[in-house]
Amino acid sequence: MTDRITIRRPDDWHVHFRDGAMMAACAPHTARVFARAIAMPNLVPPVLTARDAAAYRDRLRAAAPGLEPLMTCYLTDETDPDDVEAGFRDGIFAALKLYPAHATTNAAAGVTDLRRIGRVLERAERIGLPLSMHGEEVDPDIDIFDREAVFVDRRLGPLTRSFPGLKMILEHLTTVVAVEFVRATFPQVAGTITAHHLEVTRTDMLGHGMRPDLYCMPVAKTERDRRAVRAAAVSGEPCYFLGSDSAPHPLAKKRAVPAAAGIFTAPNALEIYATVFDEEGALDRLEAFASLNGARHYGREPNEGTVTLERQPWTVPPETPVAGPEERIPNYRGGETLPWRVVG
């Protein structure tokens, strides 16, 4: 039995760091393990321009020394292709982020109609800037459990054909349909996989009392879907890579009605992935998933350093404290014991 594993330093290709006191509380948890992290732009107000992104990047660097934040441009109907290109050429933007309007937390300013961003996508295709997306259909007639599959069929399929040279990332895969679509369209489209979607089903969320701590967007799906997502992650195939979608919310907002969507996994994300890979007998593929595949898809070199995990049970603290009025963030699997621990 393997009790210790060393991999190249990993990257997290999807993180919500927030801002201010929340950012100060959260970002060091990501910096503890990951070298680079894609910083999602759904702040209030959102990160809309290269100038917004550069300022946010500087705040992140100050909050988490040692972490290289990679910035994204929050697409709206009004996004200016020239600003996007300038931000890319200045090394500020690593990707565009598409939120269909109202698809999730702080997505009200997102894109109302994909035709409105045609010029931006053309430009991104031409200059080699990837498009990352929250792939859920927002048509109110679509059942919440079908949002991802319908987006893939109605929006993403046509997008890949309209912009064949545009590199894309379908974020947080949760369904058989999304897993298969990514496999079939790679290398144009790759997919990130969260730690929590490897573990949680909708039955966990709703079947034994309602669990807002397990509520996120896209919502967890069936056991069959979870198995497909797990199999994809541990396959080591280059089209799937680590994006935790760690999304902190203050405890009061997670307990409110309606409850905020998002699960905070930064304090234990890599440990959860390692646990899942171990359960699946695939620890030898953790490095590809966590440290190699994402960098390659984003056209970057893998990191130089390493991270070591050991089989050494530890208990996840229930909460992450936050200075000021927001007080504390519930941690994913807080209070539970995990078998793997990052030791160096």
251 binds, among ligand DOR, Zn ion, none (CB under 5 to 8 A by kind): none
**d(Cα 125, Cα 231) in Å, to the nearest integer?**
31
Minimum gap (Å) between residue 192 Cβ and ligand DOR: 12
Among 10, 262, 267, 330, binds ligand DOR (CB under 6 A): 262
Kindly report the number of other CB atoms within 10 A of residue 158's CB atom.
11
Of the residues 11, 213, 245, 278, which is catalytic? 245
CA 294, 35, 330, 99 torsion: positive or negative? negative
Smallest gap, in angstroms, from Cβ of residue 177 to ligand DOR? 18
Nearer to ligand DOR, 46 or 236 (CB): 46
- Residue owning tokens 């350093």: 305
| Contact string 122-141 vs ligand DOR (x = CB under 6 A) | ------------x-------
Q: By three-state DSSP, how is residue 115 classified?
A: helix
**Does residue 270 belong to the site contacting ligand DOR (CB under 6 A)?**
no
List the interface residues with ligand DOR, window 15-74 (CB under 6 A): 16, 42
Active site residue 245: yes
Shortest distance in whole angstroms from residue 212 CB to ligand DOR:
11
Residue with token string 């988490």: 64
CB closer to ligand DOR out of 34 and 277: 34
Q: DSSP string of 265-330?
A: -TTTHHHHHHHHHHHTT-GGGHHIIIIIHHHHHTT-PPPSSEEEEEEEEEEPPSEEE-SSTT-EEE
Q: Which chain residues interact with Zn ion by CB under 5 A?
A: 245
Contact range with ligand DOR by CB under 6 A, out of 62-70, 98-106, 220-228, 229-237: 98-106
- Which CB sits closer to ligand DOR, 69 or 262? 262
To the nearest whole angstrom, how small is the minimum distance from the Cβ of residue 287 to ligand DOR?
27
Apex 268 CA angle, 68 and 220, nearest 5: 100
Q: What is the DSSP string of 25-54?
A: HHHHHHHTT-SEEEEP---SS---SHHHHH
Q: Write out the DSSP string of 258-280.
A: SPPP-B--TTTHHHHHHHHHHHT
336's tokens: 């539970």
When asked if residue 275 is in the footprint of ligand DOR (CB under 6 A), the reply is no
Q: Quick one: which segment of 25-33, 99-107, 175-183, 309-317 binds ligand DOR (CB under 6 A)?
A: 99-107
Q: Does 259 bind ligand DOR (CB under 6 A)?
A: no
Query: How far apart are the C-alpha atoms of 28 and 31, rounded to whole Å?
Result: 5
Q: Which does 265 bind (CB under 5 to 8 A by kind): Zn ion, ligand DOR, none?
A: none
Closest distance between ligand DOR and the C-beta of residue 40, in Å?
7
Contact between residue 174 and residue 229 where contact means Cβ atoms under 8 Å apart: yes
Measured from the CB atom, the residue of 217 and 283 that comes closer to Zn ion is 217
Among 109, 100, 113, residue whose Cα is nearest residue 45: 109
Nearest approach, Cβ of residue 99 and ligand DOR (Å)? 7
Footprint on this chain of ligand DOR (rule: CB under 6 A): 16, 42, 104-106, 134, 216-217, 247, 261-262
Which residues are catalytically annotated? 245
